[in-house]
Structure formats: C-alpha cells, structure tokens
Amino acid sequence: MQIESLHSGGLREPRPDLENDVRARLIAELTDLLRRSGREIAAAPADAPTNSSTSPAAPRLAAEADARALLAAVHEAIVTHHVRYRHRRELDYAVGDAARTLCDAEFDAALVASLQAAVPTGGRSALQAAGLAMSAVTQSFVYVPTHEAALTLMLIDADGEVLWFGFAAGAVDVLSDSGLRRLVRAAGRRLLHEEK
C-alpha cells in the first residue's frame, strides 16, 4: 500500500500516517465483498517491519520480505501483460509459497490486495478550483486531477497458483468510505463469478 499527497506543483509526498486507517477500511471492504459470497475469511498481516536484521525474528522477516517481492513481481507482470494491453488470455502465473509465508492460517485461497493512491493537499484543491474557474472564463476545459487510486486484487490458491486478477483505477478519494467501497467493488466485480 502506498498513499501519497499530491501537491499543487504535481510533486508527490509519501503519507504513511494515512495508511493504517485506509488499510483497515480496505480490509473491511474486502472482507464484506467476500462474506457476501458466503466464504470464510482469515486476515493475514498487511505489512511487516523489515528494519531489524539482528533480531530472532530476522529470518521470518526476510522470508516475508522475499514473499512480498515475489508477489510484487508477479503483480507487475500481470499488470504489464494483461491489464495494460487488455489481454484477456488465461493467467498462467504462480507465486510458490509466498502467500503461505505471509499467512499463518490454513487457507484454500488468499486474496492479495495492492493499493496505490494520491490525495490532494489544500494547495492542489485550490489549483483545481482555479482550473474550473479558468474553464468557465475561457470556455475550454482545464483539468487538474486531485484524487487518484489504483487497486489490484490477486486470488492465489494454496498451491501458489494465481487464479484470478482484478484491477480498478480512477479519480477516487480513498479517504472516503464511499470512494474506497466503489474502488473495491470495481476491482472485485468479477471475483465472485469467475472461475479458472
């Protein structure tokens, strides 16, 4: 998960202070999506700190970091080859035991979510208002994006095979419950109906 502030000049600044709230609401929305289908849910840890290489937990943290890196690489490959160019061919990707490394509970399938979002600063919102005013005066549309979000979902079975991949992106405010709910529903709209 990565949440950033979008400044008036277009610069982006990481906002880790917003991530815990958005993560908790994202997990709640995903849980609701899956529960409505009658599935049992067991939540895995969202992120683990990886800054201590000398602690007794260092091997576990290293394994989790490797699992996240593998999931990120497979995620990027699917986005590149299936989402970006709209290829609808069958997925043929595997992540080994990466999902099992991150989840202590037994599972039939794991849903891995990746969210990247930008929220505007006050200056960016003022710039958008100025753009709208300029549009009215000049009668030409001046677009200044403020909210951006992209959510990808990857369903992985217990053997590590990627069963399904969902994606949604747009001008969505992830700090609002309704915006996050719309994003989750758009990314997961085929999750409960598709089978490999």
User: What confidence tens digit (pLDDT) does each residue in 99-135 have?
Assistant: 888 876 778 888 888 898 888 766 656 656 666 666 7
Q: What is the pLDDT of residue 151?
A: 92
In this predicted model, what pLDDT tens digit does every residue of 78-89 receive, in sequence order? 888 776 666 556
For the cut 80, the answer to whether the pLDDT of residue 166 exceeds it is: yes
More confident residue, 16 or 7: 16
The number of angstroms, rounded, from the C-alpha of 28 to the middle of its chain's C-alpha atoms is 14
Residue 141: which residues within 8 A CB-CB, separation 6 or more?
135
Q: Are 164 and 155 in contact (CB under 8 A)?
A: yes
Q: What is the pLDDT of residue 80?
A: 81
The position carrying tokens 């099992």 is 100
Output the CA–CA distances (angstroms, integers) from residue 18 to 2, 25, 172, 176, in the order listed: 9, 11, 15, 12
To the nearest 5 percent, what fractions of the chain are helix, strand and coil? 40, 20, 40
The position carrying tokens 């080859």 is 81
Q: Are 94 and 160 in contact (CB under 8 A)?
A: yes
**Which two tokens mark 178?**
């309704």
Which pLDDT band, with edges at 50, 70 and 90, does 181 fall under? Answer: very high
Output the CA–CA distances (angstroms, integers) from residue 161 to 5, 31, 100, 143, in the order listed: 35, 21, 12, 41
Output the CA–CA distances (angstroms, integers) from residue 7 to 4, 123, 173, in the order listed: 9, 6, 15
Output the CA–CA distances (angstroms, integers) from residue 103 to 30, 100, 182, 193, in the order listed: 16, 5, 27, 25
